[in-house]
Amino acid sequence: MGPLERLRKEWFILGIVLVIAVARLEPGVGVKGGPLKPEITITYIAVSAIFFNSGLSLKTEELTNALMHVKLHLFVQIFTLVFFPTAIWVFLQLLSITPINEWLLKGLQTVGCMPPPVSSAVILTKAVGGNEAAAIFNSAFGSFLGIVITPLLLLLFLGSSSSVPFTSIFSQLFMTVVVPLIIGQIVRRYIKDWLERKKPPFGAISSCVLLMIIYTTFCDTFANPNIDLDKFSLIIIVFIIFSIQMSFMFLTFLFSTRNDSTFTPADTVAIVFCSTHKSLTLGIPMLKIVFSGYEHLSLISVPLLIYHPAQILLGSLLVPTIKSWMVSRQKALKLTRQPKAPVKV
């Protein structure tokens, strides 16, 4: 592979490094309330653009088929909203005896309670060539479930009392996920022939939008004042977050590729990303509502601010490996399904 070909394949990873570097140099540009106004451009326009793009590129019959894949949806939602927060709670019982900052540990528990994101899992599944329709359905459905379940999980594991404005969060999700997806599908119906003839770079467009999301996320991370935060606790939390992500990705991979599993390799890709990713877009507003008035709100938010970019970085780095596995697995399955040629005597 020549240097230009390598650059073309790895431009997204290079883009991630570049936007993080820019965010570190001048976080004030992309921070909430800054010149880029991410609370509008990212929260509404960028997320809507991603799902409009998905609606435009996704064949309607694939989305219809995804709705019927009940076993896959149950696996993702139970893992994300039941197993994940419970496993983190058990793990934190062990960590509670360590000198790690207790508010950062509470922040880890809030990460476990979060719903799946409405963008990164879909884009990474698409980048690999996995079951994008299943990823879209689970991201959207999980986010809707999260509006009700996440505050309840936070109450259960952390004991905070709050009143959550379900209506406003629900309407925002509906407007930024469901409506753009439906509009994209309607527009596709009218320009289907043109799309199939021209084959627009849907993946590259979504990746560029995701780079914008990563940039503003890191701007928020770098601009966040870390009050009373010792470096030891922060380094340990970063290590724990990457360990959790790798462990859970491996666990979902093992479960979805068992011999008695009915999931296809493309299904496995969607499961691995959707089950282990957590939403910052929904998470931060929820934390601000549930922990309103908490002196240590910024510390509780730190693990989620780390988890979100970490899941994108880790997922992006694993895209070539997962894609290679999926392609080879699909080829192997095709060979096993082909009828054997009769032996000539």
In a domain, 122, yes or no: yes
Residue 2 main-chain phi, psi, to 5 deg = -75, 165
pLDDT of residue 344: 55
pLDDT of residue 161: 46
Domain count, the chain: 1
Closest by Cα among 20, 21, 38 to 29: 38
| The amino acid at 75 | F
* Three-point CA angle 261, 266, 267, nearest 5°: 45
How far are the Cα atoms of 103, 252, 295, 310, 311 from residue 233, in angstroms, in the given order? 10, 28, 18, 17, 20
**H or E segment and range at residue 204:** helix 202-223
| Residues spanned by the domain of 173 | 3-328
Cβ contact 313:120 at 8 Å? no
231-256 vs 84-95: helix axis angle to the nearest 10?
A: 140
265-276 vs 70-78: helix axis angle to the nearest 10?
A: 30
Closest by Cα among 108, 87, 39, 95 to 299: 108
| Highest mean pLDDT: which range of 176-185, 190-199, 236-245, 280-289 | 236-245
- How does pLDDT run across 63-98, given as a tens digit for each residue? 677 778 889 999 999 999 999 999 999 999 998 888
- How does pLDDT run across 217-234, given as a tens digit for each residue? 778 767 766 555 678 888
Q: What is the mean pLDDT of residues 6-22?
A: 73
Instruction: Report which of residues 108 and 286 the model is more confident about.
Output: 108
Q: What is the mean pLDDT of residues 233-251?
A: 93
Please write down the HEC assignment for all residues of 255-270.
HHCCCCCCCCHHHHHH
- How does pLDDT run across 263-302, given as a tens digit for each residue? 999 999 999 999 999 987 677 777 766 776 666 777 788 8
| Highest mean pLDDT: which range of 44-53, 169-178, 326-335 | 326-335
In a domain, 339, yes or no: no
In a domain, 140, yes or no: yes
**What's the DSSP call for residue 224?**
S
In a domain, 344, yes or no: no
The CATH number given to whatever domain includes residue 185 is: 1.20.1530.20
